[in-house]
Structure 1
Amino acid sequence: MSRLRINPTGTPAAAAVGPVVLSSNSLWNITNFRAPVVRRLAYEGWSLVVAAPATEQERTAFTLPADVMPIVLKRSGLNPLRDIGLLLRYCRVLHEIRPAAYLGWTIKPNIYGALAARMAGVPAILNVSGLGTAFLGSGLLARFVGLLYRVAFARAHVIFFQNGDDRALFVERRLVRAEQARLLPGSGIDLDHYRQVPLPEGPPTFLLIARLLGDKGVREYVTAARMLREELPGVRFRLLGPIDSDNRSAVTQGEVDGWVTEGVVDYLGTADDVRSAIAAASVVVLPSYREGLPRTLLEAAAMGRPLIATDVPGCRDLVDEGVNGTLCAARNAGSLAEAMRRMAVFDPKTLGAMGRASRDKAECGYDERLIADAYVGALRELAVTA
């Protein structure tokens, strides 16, 4: 197996390091959320292979400094036969590449990639960016997923968490050891790409950016908008994001069409670049039931937008009550409506001050370079002990 080592200057010896396998539930996830890590690791000298679902078109369009090894992975649902097949595919990838380390993001690459890495004796560095509906339940399925995490994570070198609540939960349930678990500020943000822009003039416009799932609070958002529509006739409520029909809490196309016909929300479809939608919004809303650290709120904060979020792990990390936004109760359309009502009547000066506070928060602890530094540090630890 390839070994990592460092030279006396403290930087990786480029000729001797890697390869390193990186895996997520989609090539899109790597491109849009992990690019700073990929570029930094390549710059430091590691050779990289991305194992993720990828069409030929996606592979052709992929421009990051890494090779792509497509794998078949259905990101939602638990099917024992299908998931055993995924485990075997990861085993084949690791046997073929013989990497010095495995880096995983999202639920199935974390679990099955880490299991394969354990079986192959490959150190794993994992990132828990969200817990998933199955894990958060209370029945047999939740206990089974917890067992999978415990076995898969037992030999991992580092498990990064994106908020302290998730880290504490995994340590409390003995799914990870305290010394394995470290905190990261989400996936970080490119502060030059997401620049602060002035708030739009005119009546307030609220925007929810998310996959259209029940767990993201989409239905509560629509219900709250319906409650406020007559009271605040000039206010606009917008919704941006894809319909994820494979997810058990998915909003249907029929529901979306009904909302648009009713006139309660404007559905903006999907977008590869959300900056124009954020720029046109006065306030960005995320009434999710639980998050790792929501990228959409981080993007909105970097662009200087006041935030409304549920008082749950991940979401509340980005909102300082009354400073850059406000919190509401999860699964509670009335609480969300009241939060939006308060924001809708603020004068432009107050909203502008909240937007500047959001930008300050993004600048003070969420620069994407911090994330890349953490991964370089974790790999160098392996290099020292190899």
Structure 2
Amino acid sequence: QIHGIPPLDSGADSLAHMRWLKLARPDAYERTAKFLEPMDYVAMRLSGRPVTNRCSSFLMLLTDNRRSNPAYHSSLLKWSGIDSEKLPEIVPVDEPLGPVLPEVAERLGLAQDTLVFPAINDTQAGGVGAAAFAGDHAGISIGTTGVCVTHVDFKKTDILNSLVSMPSPIGDGYFVMAEAGIGGGALDFFLERLVFAKDGFGDHRLADRFSALDRAVAPIQPGSDGVLFLPWLTGSVTPAEDGKVRGGFLNLSLQTTREHLGRAVLEGVAFNLRWVQGRVARFAKRDISRVRFYGGGALSSLWAQIFADILQLPVEQLREPEYAASRGLALLGFHHLGELSLEEMQARVPVAATHAPRPELAARYDAMFAQFVRAFRKNRSVFRGLNVGSES
């Protein structure tokens, strides 16, 4: 109700890290001057100011995010046990911290009057880079994880589906944060551990594991001949959080090839994001008209088309998609300097290609998606039984 998300069972939030230091390493805790998020630390090295803001402080779980100028909440501080003097000052996200330090400017070759703005996290930066702060589209990022991002006008939380809103760096709005768990990491696992592995069967490593991917799996028909990949290699998050669930392939036969498995991995990650995207649309109370696709996974045009077919939505594959978050930061900086309006920011999102959904595949993928969700629910108890005692 106050912040937006509860402490995570995984301990992956920053509050858990601070509490661990206090309880397990009290000597280090006492020597700590300020707890800073990594991006705030970089901003401090550039500007000399150890501060945070409404965006970068989100995973500390200590701010009242019901208002656009949040402050640390007294009850949250009391419950956390973290001393307030060890927390950084909260500053506006749209006001510069000052010019870059002279020694940093000299080392990096920057002008002495270059301004440093407060930092934001990668999900927020990617959302800006996809212009998901406005309009009726959503952004889907496939990096190591998969994330679906769109906007809402006020703070809201859906604990049952693991959906939260976090402060946006633009205006008084919020971004929906929908973390799907492993995304591109599942593909990396498949290629590194199963296709191009170095193990007891031999050394099959390639310098570029991804170059042959689209060519190898393109001949496989949509649906991978019924092979279904479950992508939860590190547990599931949105819309059904469970740290005990794991991944796997279902419905293999003697005709199944590595090419089938490769396409099934791409489809399985897309099925998972379809599950997430449906809940995001309901959470935002808005039909999503199209998706902007970015992150390293968006380098694959085949994957972009698979997303379009499985979501049955147009997918706009961004140009140089691996730099979408960096581009978002640049656009945000120009906006805060007064050089770009929100409309101009949206117009500067570069789309390399638009992939239209193929209606003839809708029925096939609808049926497979239903089995995908059913496989999660039916196998949940099996995974829990197999993973008794695991740390997740």
Q: Same fold (TM over 0.5)?
A: no
Q: TM-score, normalised on structure 2?
A: 0.30
Q: What TM-score do the two structures reach when normalised by structure 1?
A: 0.31
